[in-house]
Amino acid sequence: MLTIGILALQGAFVEHQAMFEKLGVKTFQIRQRKDLDKPMDGIVLPGGESTAMGKLLRDLEMLAPLKKKIHDGLPTMGTCAGMILMATSIHDDPTIHLGEMNITVARNAYGRQLSSFYTKNLFSGQEIPMTFIRAPYIVSVDEGVDILSTVDGRWVAAREKKMLATAFHPELTADTTVHEYFLEMISSSS
């Protein structure tokens, strides 16, 4: 049985746990440095507030070991703020958090909380519901990054090797497609 660690410093981590448990997958919350040492087949970096999460990762001395795990090939799924944490570059912001996925993202690209929206669109060829909350989007990608979803001409989901990033919150719908895609990524890479 697969085990997924879910970063639980801030944001929508409980919702991700519920999605994986619905799929019969074991999960645990990562709240402190020692939790990163637990055996896991993949990790989720949830939506929330990327600046707060980045600060907490640094303050709790989790940034470097987490970056190493991802760099060494731990399958990683980042949603919204998690996508920002993974990006090698943030448009108009010199901050780099984990910097492992070769994408440049624009933070809060869809505007303020009031500009949040719900839509249906294709993800890896399958139509799914998508919830965007103060969402980023991908401005540019380097070689080796595959775009999995585009909404209104903007890239909102991508994969690079064992990393999956979405600008939307798949955990806030009843649809398990994105979580299943991540599990398939893990199974096919082991």
- Catalytic site residue 80? yes
Catalytic residue among 16, 97, 169, 179: 169
Catalytic residue among 16, 160, 171, 179: 171
Tokens of 159: 């994969």
Q: Which of 87, 47, 38, 83 is nearest to 65 (CA)?
A: 38
How far, in Å, are 42, 43, 106, 111, 166 from residue 134 at the CA level? 26, 23, 11, 6, 13
Asked if 47 contacts 169 with a C-beta cutoff of 8 angstroms, the reply is yes
Q: Which of 69, 72, 66 is nearest to 85 (CA)?
A: 66
- Catalytic site residue 127? no
Catalytic residue among 80, 100, 160, 179: 80
Q: Which of 23, 152, 59 is nearest to 44 (CA)?
A: 23
Active site residues: 80, 169, 171
